[in-house]
A and B are shown apart, each in its own frame.
Chain A
């Protein structure tokens, strides 16, 4: 607090002529005590600042720097300017992978939202064994991505898979289906696996949101003659809106850059049907060893994620106002 009270007069004084010795009016008017406080403040924030620079600013800056070079990151650094950006933005394969990624992210987020909301509404009721159901339903979120991918890969296996076995047992199909070999089925299969992995987070967020809505509102609505649908529409939904917006945006960014499950289940195939942009970047970097172009692609994805983040902030601000 001392820092604020001491600093304010100097900032209110505005710019003035430099006193002798080249010191600014602000520095000249700071008492030794205020300077000591300022240094203390800087020393308090410096560990966080250093960590942020090391873990966020430097990698981002380095990634951007690499994108201007044809490089193997070791002994080849040929400056190419914006060539890789132009090449990437005019490459139909990259545009295709952005399209696949957007569709994938939208479907997974939608699935997470529908299933997460439905389960949260059920768990918010006064049902028996509620704690047990909560514990069971959160389980998929606790599994590592690798485990989820392998579980589903086995479920979809054409020879030994549980899905084919079940469908053949009830005579819905007469011969095994290679789910991950068909481009359309593979895409749906991967989306389902990701929804299974992702819905618990949304469920927990929404459950927390539901529990923050005062019960009196429902009682008042009931007295006014509102049914369950009316209560959901006019009380639950508006009450949940801030949580929903945060969930949607966080989930969209999360799944937009997702790699592991898709890579392990299909490696982007068959014939690029599940080639999300993260797989495209991985292949360019580590199969073609074209690190410069991969960085340019990553920068473009960063810009897209940044745009999503700006939309999120705008929506939240509008909502608050």
Chain B
């Protein structure tokens, strides 16, 4: 089964995503921030990462970079709450440094699942 690492500091978002992805047939690992995400990935490498941008300790951009370093071909999806804290520019940057896809919250479920299935299938379609 494809393992997805979900990184988000919001617990409800995490649990929601877990349920959604599990229902869709994926294995989910959670991490509350970037550091945790990197450690978790080392322990249990994932096939896809869905990460938030604004997080404490190591925020999303860093996380993406770290993960990319460890596994350059790891597909990463970045989602963000937007607003003043994470303006659009961030997502662009995320895309530039390795995020295969970016979404703003709230994300349409079907769009997200499509993207996950696409990326997990192995074709790292980079679309930013």
Task: Say whether A and B bind each other.
Answer: no
Contacts from B to A (Cβ < 8 Å): none
Contacts from A to B (Cβ < 8 Å): none
